[in-house]
Amino acid sequence: MTKSVIPAARRLVSHDRVHIERLNVSAIAGPDSWDQLKPQNMKVTLRMDTDFKKSSLTDDLKYSLNYAVISRDISNHVQKNSKHNFKDVNTFGRSVLEFAKRSYTAIEALTVEVESNEANIRCSRVRSIVNDALDKPDLIVLSEFKILTLVGVFTFERLRRQYVDFTIQLPVAKANDPPPYDKIIEQISDFVENSNFKTVEALVETVAQVILTKNSYFLDRPSVPIEVKVIKLNAITQTDGVGVSCKRCYDDFKSALPILSNGNDTSSAPFTTSGDFDLPVQNSVLNRESWKTAILAFGSNIGDRFQNIVDSIGLLSRHGDVEVLTSSSLFESEPMYFKDQQPFLNGCVKIKTTLLPDELLKLCKKIEYDELNRVKHFDNGPRTIDLDIITYYDSDGIDYVMNTTELTIPHPRILERSFVLEPLCELIDPTSIHPITAEPFHNHLRQLYEDENPEDILWKLVPVGNKFLRFKNQWEKDSLTGLRRPVSKSPAYLMGVVNVTPDSFSDGSNNYNDKEAVLSKIEKMLVPALELHELIILDIGGCSTRPGSLQVSEKEELSRVLPIIQAITSSTTIPLDKVVLSIDTYRSAVAEAAISAGVGIINDISGGTFEPEILGVLSKHPNVAYVLSHIRGDIESMSSKTSYLASGSEVVEYVLGKEGKEIDNNFIKTIGREICSRYKDVLKNKVHRWQLILDPGIGFAKIGSQNLDLIRGIPLLKNYSCIIDNEYLSLVNLPVLLGPSRKKFIGDIAKIPRAEDRDFATGAIVSTCVGNGSDIIRVHAVSEISKSLKLINELYRN
């Protein structure tokens, strides 16, 4: 056979290495897993630096290291010392290294790794890495060291222990003098099994402190670093594990609080725990005299659910140490845990209080049991009212976290309940972080909806007198952003215009004060519409609000509308169970009188700017809805205020599904900001969010194409929120009312000069309005548009 000769290659430096991987040997290296001095099966790995250039050029093994011979010699060396106790894996590894270096002079540098799976019953893999470099210390590596412990931020992690996997590197300060790794393994096992941490960062730091401060080996070597790595094996199912690591030395803990051997002994530990949920918290002190902030969740499913909620909030507000700031929308949800009970009416309320958390809890329980007669038969069962503290903030607005047998803040099950997260996210901005998970609450809400669980579908309820308007949002993927956002899924309501004025722009008449004629008109309007729709809203107006119109006196307006309202409510031919009455007025006296007569909606085109006292009327009637409209100027001047150029405002703005991105529709952005400014005043007047319906004001301080832009921009407007003067204001979940009927822009586009001839074209516009998310459509030709709306609802809302 012809020997092949490898051509010479020009090499500047020799980087040759011969490897022996995991040679099986057996030796006594200290006590084994059962603390007995018996031989342990070990694996020895050698990395031998040499120069085998001549061997590679001549293809002759005698110029290299013969790994077969070395493997045999090391096995024989270990066998000859089979009864010798090497005391630990480091000393054994050092013995192998010295034998190899002594026996083979061609070894220029040598690293020996010894691995034992029998050295300790707690730690599956103990390794010693030794080398002949004077400036490189030996290492003891503890790995596959799995321990069950309580660590994590999610509710399911707080209720069940999980495995974490440690890898710990301990430097050997002097050859054959390793750190006491058996003792360290026991220390870590005892500590971690009884520990309780929210984060692996805190866990890994504290384990490093336990090792370094409880062993004199490191106290005598304060600058020698160790490395601790911890992996949560089941935290992210798409991975083999996730975790953190750190390098620390004794000097890093000179000023730290001491760690006791038992993680649950809290007398001097930096974290304390108690209670079934067992959430660790850092100690902090609250100022008893200062005003703090809290958000409470409420729910009721027995008796008059709405009145129970109103009464509970009223009792809160009447307490001297509590000020109710704002409330969320109302949401109806199916029972989540115990299914055999009635649906719940849920929401959240934001308060200021000087009460400490435990005092606030006592107040909530007093309202539940003493004031509203709640009887608790079992957990998650039916209840008259339930008040839970969801979040609590100190006087500086910093999250306060606590965990006792009576109270855990934030509420431990908040992240699994859409009926809490949805109203909560109406009250806090998208950057608000859950203090335990360190992730925005808004993100958790989206993640909850990603599963598309039918139990997470909520109905938003707007009280309208003795009835509710019901609106369902469903989260769907936005085709532009790829993110999920809520879209309207319930059929849009029809609001019919009932003008009792002689000067309406489209249907004024001389017999407006003839009750019989008006009732006859209403009946003709309702009969065909109610064949197609379960409920119709009638919007009664006694004062024209068209731009530039002459405003009649308050007395005249009252004389026009009250007789009609009273005639409707006393009618025996109008199906009142299928009708909601609305009053189109901006006057507080008219609103008050109309509510007393049976009206459930106040439709104020001014958004409270013409007569602010109207908001006070609404605050006294939490069961009456308020149409919050966008307008500029007044009846006389609104047509001159149609410029929507960028204002240079410093307002922080968000659009749900587009957080962190610039809102490119400046027109909609400006309208949203101005509506939020009005919304801010509404809240100051103690009007509840659940009372609000949003009307962006087609035709009011808008011209021609702006009305079209407004209709196109409804999806943005419905998902708009901003921060004004440090107050978060959100239009998310507010039902939108649009009134395009017979408007001038339709006539201009379709060349229809007479308003009363624009109904067919109005039907086309209504289709787009509903398709873009409008929840209520205000029209004149109710019987005709009701047919169009029925088709549109079938197309878009089913």
pLDDT at 281: 63
Q: What is the pTM of this model?
A: 0.78
Pairwise CA distance, residues 326 & 324, whole Å: 6
pLDDT at 237: 78
Cα separations in angstroms, 235 against 147, 150, 199, 202 = 15, 12, 12, 16
Give the number of other Cβ atoms within 10 Å of residue 623's Cβ: 18
Pairwise CA distance, residues 767 & 29, whole Å: 83
180 prior amide bond cis, ω within 30: no
Pairwise CA distance, residues 361 & 277, whole Å: 17
- Does the pLDDT value for residue 398 go beyond 80? yes
- Does the pLDDT value for residue 13 go beyond 70? no
Q: For residue 286, what pLDDT band results from cuts at 50, 70 and 90?
A: confident
Query: Does residue 474 lie within any of the structural domains?
Result: no
Pairwise CA distance, residues 560 & 557, whole Å: 5
pLDDT at 6: 42
Query: Does residue 467 lie within any of the structural domains?
Result: no
| Residue range 555-582, pLDDT digits in tens | 999 999 999 999 999 999 999 999 999 9
| Residue range 375-387, pLDDT digits in tens | 665 455 577 899 9
Q: For residue 261, what pLDDT band results from cuts at 50, 70 and 90?
A: very low
Pairwise CA distance, residues 748 & 703, whole Å: 11
pLDDT at 420: 93
Task: Based on the fold, state whether residues 513 and 613 are members of the same structural domain.
Answer: yes
Q: How far is CA 259 from the centre of its chain?
A: 34
Query: Does residue 464 lie within any of the structural domains?
Result: no
Helices (H), 194-247: 200-213, 216-219
pLDDT at 376: 60
3-state SS, residue 590:
helix
pLDDT at 14: 57
User: Mean of the pLDDT values across residues 424-446?
Assistant: 90
- Does the pLDDT value for residue 686 go beyond 50? yes
Nearest CA to 652 out of 599, 553, 724 is that of 724
Picking from 101, 136, 171, the residue at the C-terminal end of a domain is: 136
Q: How far is CA 657 from the centre of its chain?
A: 13
Q: What is the mean pLDDT of the chain?
A: 87
Task: Based on the fold, state whether residues 158 and 109 are members of the same structural domain.
Answer: no
Pairwise CA distance, residues 427 & 692, whole Å: 15
Task: Based on the fold, state whether residues 308 and 269 are members of the same structural domain.
Answer: no
Place of tokens 């490119």: 664
What is the number of domains present in the chain?
A: 4
Task: Based on the fold, state whether residues 29 and 144 are members of the same structural domain.
Answer: no
Task: Based on the fold, state whether residues 155 and 92 are members of the same structural domain.
Answer: no
Picking from 227, 248, 282, the residue at the C-terminal end of a domain is: 282
Task: Based on the fold, state whether residues 735 and 602 are members of the same structural domain.
Answer: yes
Query: Does residue 701 lie within any of the structural domains?
Result: yes
Pairwise CA distance, residues 112 & 92, whole Å: 10
| Residue range 62-83, pLDDT digits in tens | 999 999 999 999 999 999 999 9
CATH of the domain at 431: 3.30.70.560
CATH of the domain at 148: 3.30.1130.10
CB 211 within 8 A of CB 186: no
Task: Based on the fold, state whether residues 340 and 269 are members of the same structural domain.
Answer: no
| Residue range 209-237, pLDDT digits in tens | 999 999 999 988 899 999 999 999 987 87
Q: How far is CA 40 from the centre of its chain?
A: 52
Q: How far is CA 661 from the centre of its chain?
A: 19
Pairwise CA distance, residues 733 & 329, whole Å: 8
Query: Does residue 336 lie within any of the structural domains?
Result: yes
Nearest CA to 124 out of 146, 92, 91 is that of 146
pLDDT at 7: 46
Picking from 121, 136, 151, the residue at the C-terminal end of a domain is: 136
Q: What's the sign of the alpha-carbon dihedral 681, 685, 686, 689?
A: negative
Q: Burial-class residue 787 by CB neighbours within 10 Å (0-12, 13-18, 19+).
A: middle
- Does the pLDDT value for residue 477 go beyond 50? yes
**Domain membership of residue 41 as a residue range:** 14-136
Query: Does residue 463 lie within any of the structural domains?
Result: no
Return the DSSP state at 432.
P
Task: Based on the fold, state whether residues 212 and 100 are members of the same structural domain.
Answer: no
Q: For residue 492, what pLDDT band results from cuts at 50, 70 and 90?
A: very high
pLDDT at 663: 43
3-state secondary structure labels for all residues of 308-364: HHHHHHHHHHCCCCEEEEEECCEEEECCCCCCCCCCEEEEEEEEEECCCHHHHHHHH
Task: Based on the fold, state whether residues 47 and 152 are members of the same structural domain.
Answer: no
Task: Based on the fold, state whether residues 382 and 493 are members of the same structural domain.
Answer: no
Query: Does residue 113 lie within any of the structural domains?
Result: yes
Nearest CA to 78 out of 109, 112, 111, 48 is that of 112
DSSP string covering 236-247: STTSS-EEEEEE
Q: Is the model more confident about 448 or about 498?
A: 498
Q: For residue 50, what pLDDT band results from cuts at 50, 70 and 90?
A: very high
Percentage of the chain beyond pLDDT 90 is 64
Pairwise CA distance, residues 435 & 553, whole Å: 55
Task: Based on the fold, state whether residues 535 and 635 are members of the same structural domain.
Answer: yes
Query: Does residue 57 lie within any of the structural domains?
Result: yes
Task: Based on the fold, state whether residues 170 and 274 are members of the same structural domain.
Answer: yes
3-state SS, residue 763:
helix
Cα separations in angstroms, 438 against 154, 167, 182, 239, 277 = 11, 26, 36, 21, 19
CATH of the domain at 597: 3.20.20.20
- Does the pLDDT value for residue 740 go beyond 80? yes
